[in-house]
Amino acid sequence: MFHFLQPKNKTNVLGRETKSVYQNSMKTSLLRKELKIMAPILLNVGNESTDCLEHGLVHVKNPHLDFMEEDILYHFNLGTKTHNLPAMFGDIKFVCVGGSANRMKAFAQFIFKELELKGDCNDIDDICAGTDRYSMYKAGPVLSISHGMGVPSISIMMHELIKLLHHARCRDVTLIRIGTSGGVGLEPGTVVITDTAVDSFFQPQFEQVVLGKVIVRSTQLDENLAQELLQCGKEIPNLPTVLGNTMCTHDFYEGQGRLDGALCSFSTEDKLEYLRKAHKAGVRNIEMESTVFAAMCRVCGLKAAVICVTLLDRFKGDQISTPHELLLEYQQRPQYLVSHFIKKHLGLHN
Ligand SMILES: O=P(O)(O)O[C@@H]1C[C@H](O)[C@@H](CO)O1
Ligand SMILES: O=c1cc[nH]c(=O)[nH]1
């Protein structure tokens, strides 16, 4: 099913040339050597098609699903036989995801008010109440879902979300991750719209181990959507917004070069050198989900964006010592931006 990709370069929104996944894999091995990090056992470059959606429908890329009588979305506590998914979710146009269940509930209530939907925002129930893995709230055409922390957690959620949108026969859906991050040379509170999601080697790719082989997928996001969101950020007063690359790591402490974890084998200068390299590669913030989120959306032809606020400047420290109230205010910034964007799309702006 997987063939080798023909390398093909592209230009991104900043006018920079982006390398093909194949070329990036080669670069990654060199960088791994430079950083004295073990190379992956095998690199297999997949060419899963990323064709545009037929009539805007959400396409899953799994032929086995067609032969299943029932699909149980176990971690959502939903299923094709137990729930009428088209009736429940068929009108969804925007899906916003973020790590914390409380944040995503607050966002659902906020967007409910912003869209002036009928009823009481406090009555929005958790659709996934039957499981405590993820929380899911619906406010009109907006779905708000928590994904927990890190790649494995968001990846499970994304499999079930994409299948849910497919079973519900949703059309023209936009997915946006609204999260928090560590800034790289930015004032805390800056909102970063991801240009390209990159891995710990600053490469725009996500590696997934499948049947003992490493599949490499591109993490390219929708350039027009990122530009549109940047414009929305500019239209909101006092919302510092920038476009930059987002580095996705598999750990908050050692993986992000922190000196304050339970384990640390590097010096302050090593950390700063790595951050300087990241900054030079266009990285403006660090978080833990963007690459797999971008890669899965891309393969399934879904429009996607990542918007994360920075909680601190990693050049200046590691501990998040910002007062709780200010952290809450920071977390709301991507929500304001997304609300502005959604309202614009629904023609609700005055
Ligand atoms: O969406 P959130 O704010 O949870 O994303 C970042 C990345 C990790 O999941 C987490 C670490 O604190 O925050
Ligand atoms: O430094 C940070 C802050 C939030 N989330 C991260 O992943 N890193």
Q: Do 289 and 150 contact (CB within 8 A), yes or no?
A: yes
pLDDT of 5 reads 33
Per-residue pLDDT tens digits for 157-181: 999 999 999 999 999 999 999 999 9
**What pTM was computed for the model?**
0.89
Handedness of CA 113, 119, 121, 127 (dihedral sign): negative
Minimum-distance ligand 1 atom for the alpha carbon of 288: 7
Report residue 132 as tokens.
Answer: 């405590």
Longest dimension (CA), the chain: 58
The DSSP element (H or E) to which 232 belongs, if any, is: helix 223-235
Minimum-distance ligand 2 atom for the alpha carbon of 314: 1
Cα–Cα distance for residue pair 278/287, rounded to 1 Å = 13
How large a percentage of the chain has pLDDT more than 90?
83
Q: Do 199 and 118 contact (CB within 8 A), yes or no?
A: no
Q: Which ligand is nearest to the CA of 99?
A: 1
| Mean pLDDT for all residues in the chain | 89
Query: What contacts 132, CB < 8 A, 6 or more positions away?
Result: none
Q: Which ligand is nearest to the CA of 319?
A: 2
Report whether residue 336 contacts ligand 1, using a CB cutoff of 6 Å: no
pLDDT of 30 reads 55
Per-residue pLDDT tens digits for 315-347: 999 999 999 999 999 999 999 999 999 999 999
Alpha carbons within 13 angstroms on the beta-carbon side of residue 226 total 22
Which residue puts its alpha carbon closest to atom 10 of ligand 1?
149
Enumerate long-range contacts of 318-321, CB under 8 Å, 24 or more apart.
Answer: 318/258, 318/259, 318/260, 319/260
- The residues with which 220 forms a beta bridge, in sequence order, are 196
Which stretches of the chain are assigned E, i.e. beta strand? 10-11, 17-18, 43-45, 72-73, 78-79, 94-98, 136-139, 142-146, 174-183, 191-198, 205-210, 213-218, 241-248, 283-287, 303-313
pLDDT of 219 reads 98
Report whether residue 318 contacts ligand 2, using a CB cutoff of 6 Å: no
